[in-house]
Amino acid sequence: DAGVTQSPTHLIKTRGQQVTLRCSPKSGHDTVSWYQQALGQGPQFIFQYYEEEERQRGNFPDRFSGHQYPNYSSELNVNALLLGDSALYLCASSLPGRADTQYFGPGTRLTVL
């Protein structure tokens, strides 16, 4: 049983560009959450998707948007990249009705130059 997968593993972009990160949840999981982890810090909640809709959102600007597909996979889009967006982006999935226990993917390392 594959766990949570994310692509790509690493990404380098320049300021002002746009980026799309992808996540496939663990089998049987229907809820996907995204987190941003800056170097040396704990992860910060970006948003959570359930039934193809954004259910909760953290303190992130509208430049951060997402999508969930009918197969529960999800995308994180970031527009107008800033240097401060450089971070590890983590996706987590959870079972129906069990969003308290989240399983994390390996992350995508985004570097903005």
Partner 1 sequence: SQQGEEDPQALSIQEGENATMNCSYKTSINNLQWYRQNSGRGLVHLILIRSNEREKHSGRLRVTLDTSKKSSSLLITASRAADTASYFCATDVGSARQLTFGSGTQLTVLP
Of 34 and 78, the one with the shorter C-beta distance to partner 1 is 34
d(CA 40, CA 13) in angstroms, rounded, equals 21
Nearer Cβ to partner 1 (19/33): 33
In this structure, what is the dihedral angle of CA atoms 21, 52, 5, 64, given to the nearest 10 degrees?
A: 30
Told to check if 56 binds partner 1 by CB under 8 A, we report yes
Minimum CB–partner distance for residue 76 and partner 1 (Å): 15
Please give the residues from 36 up to 55 whose contact with partner 1 meets the rule CB under 8 A: 39-45, 48
Question: Based on CB atoms, which residue is closest to partner 1, 2 or 39?
Answer: 39
- Estimate the share of the chain in helix, then strand, then coil, as percent rounded to the nearest 5: 5, 50, 45
22 binds partner 1 (CB under 8 A): no
Neighbours of 106 (CB within 10 A): 14
The verdict on 4 binding partner 1 (CB under 8 A) reads yes
Q: Is 27 in the site for partner 1 (CB under 8 A)?
A: no
Question: In a 10 Å sphere around its CB, with 0-12 CB exposed, 13-18 middle and 19+ buried, how is residue 14 labelled?
Answer: exposed
- 3 state SS of 112: strand
Residues binding partner 1 (CB under 8 A): 4, 31, 33, 35, 39-45, 48, 56, 58-59, 88, 90, 92, 99-107, 109
